[in-house]
Structure 1
């Protein structure tokens, strides 16, 4: 394939990733082309390498996640990009981060098991938020009285936190406590806006987060 064709495929790929607002797989990118002009998988992967190289020194980058590739603002430019938005992203509650961290590291895990580890009741609002965001899902039921649901993380969780797989999360042995696990998970967010999660925790956990205004911006 000549250089002009490669440049055209690269431009089409860049345009598609800018418009999609979500990760696209190699096959999804190939399907943008008519059958007669569809690039081979090896060619498409080469084009993605070229696109990644072309992003060097620019304000955005090509990032691979569990679902595919996306163009996103580089993390170091988040403080400036964040000023474009009138409403500042609300903080994630410590309770939500701890719950999400336990699901990520101990999956599959039941709500009762999370409560046993944390020593407090897990708010229904937290479970609902995690399910609605599609960061966790029920993957079965524990074979004990009551058959409680077991929860695990999803592909959307990996995509949102810029992970290709769970093996990219910080080793549990390097984390001192659950709150720190939550902070480490959030470090993998695209174009992260720095914040501290609330440190207070009493009884039945409330959820003071607003994930629809979460830090980070995908280019679209």
Structure 2
């Protein structure tokens, strides 16, 4: 049974005109449909938008395709429930929602068609530097040297930048005002993080970075 989440404000606004789209009129409210079918149609719209997008879609964008009184969060929950037995799922990441293959099927996909993204394979040192940037950002090369006890090569940083996992941050308050490094939205997507607050405890990261330095 799906939900019927029309707020009192939306009911008072049922007489509002429909929104105009680029090709005629786009009916957000679907007032001509019974409530159950209306909710189903909104779920379908949410799923279609997310299916068509390769990046997370935020709440404001999803709200444009459903009625003013419809809860995007409830629509997402109902869609997630219907997908519970599928090999993919609807997840919240980087400030929005997107479809992801469930982890237990990743190896099957690779075995069938070698679809693994090798561009996101990391050396131990790359992972250690990425970890240090994530926890200490914004941080410059001198700061990374303090963390690892040795210079971090420009080539390594260039590889992380090429993978779109790091970007230039604000200038550091050091002589010459060198550029700092920060993580990107692609970093959040890659590691299934909603925000940087979802990073593990810092002491674990320091241990991993130390181990990486010793084995590099």
TM-score range, shorter chain: 0.7 to 0.9
Cα distance in structure 2, aligned partners of 1:174 and 1:160: 19
Cα distance in structure 2, aligned partners of 1:19 and 1:137: 27
Contact 1:104 1:152 in 2 (8 A): yes
Cα distance in structure 2, aligned partners of 1:41 and 1:80: 41
Cα displacement (A) at 1:131: 2.4
Structure 1 pair 96–164 and aligned structure 2 pair: CA distance change class (3 A):
same
- Alignment partner of 1:71 is 2:108: no
- Alignment partner of 1:80 is 2:145: no
Cα displacement (A) at 1:179: 6.9
**1:29 maps to what in 2?**
62
2:73 pairs with one of 29, 34, 45: 45
Question: Residues 65-214 of structure 1 correspond to what in structure 2 (within 5 A)?
Answer: 65-86=93-114, 89-90=117-118, 91-175=121-205, 176-178=207-209, 200-201=215-216
Cα displacement (A) at 1:85: 2.7
Cα distance in structure 2, aligned partners of 1:41 and 1:104: 39
**2:40 maps to what in 1?**
7
Poorly superposed stretches of 4+, deviation over 6 Å = none
Cα displacement (A) at 1:168: 1.2
Cα distance in structure 2, aligned partners of 1:115 and 1:22: 34
**Which 5+ residue runs of structure 1 have no aligned equivalent?**
183-198, 202-220
CA deviations on 1:152-210 (whole Å, 9 max, x unpaired) are 22233212221111121111223532177x8xxxxxxxxxxxxxxxx952xxxxxxxxx
Q: Between Structure 1 and Structure 2, whose CA radius of gyration is higher?
A: 2
Cα distance in structure 2, aligned partners of 1:29 and 1:150: 35
Cα displacement (A) at 1:129: 2.5
Cα displacement (A) at 1:42: 4.7
Structure 1 pair 4–88 and aligned structure 2 pair: CA distance change class (3 A):
closer
Higher relative contact order at CA 8 Å, sep ≥6: structure 1 or structure 2?
Answer: 1
Aligned length: 179
Structure 1 pair 89–43 and aligned structure 2 pair: CA distance change class (3 A):
closer
Moved more, 97-106 or 111-120: 111-120
Contact 1:111 1:122 in 2 (8 A): yes
**1:188 maps to what in 2?**
none
Alpha-carbon RMSD: 2.3
**Which 5+ residue runs of structure 2 have no aligned equivalent?**
1-5, 7-34
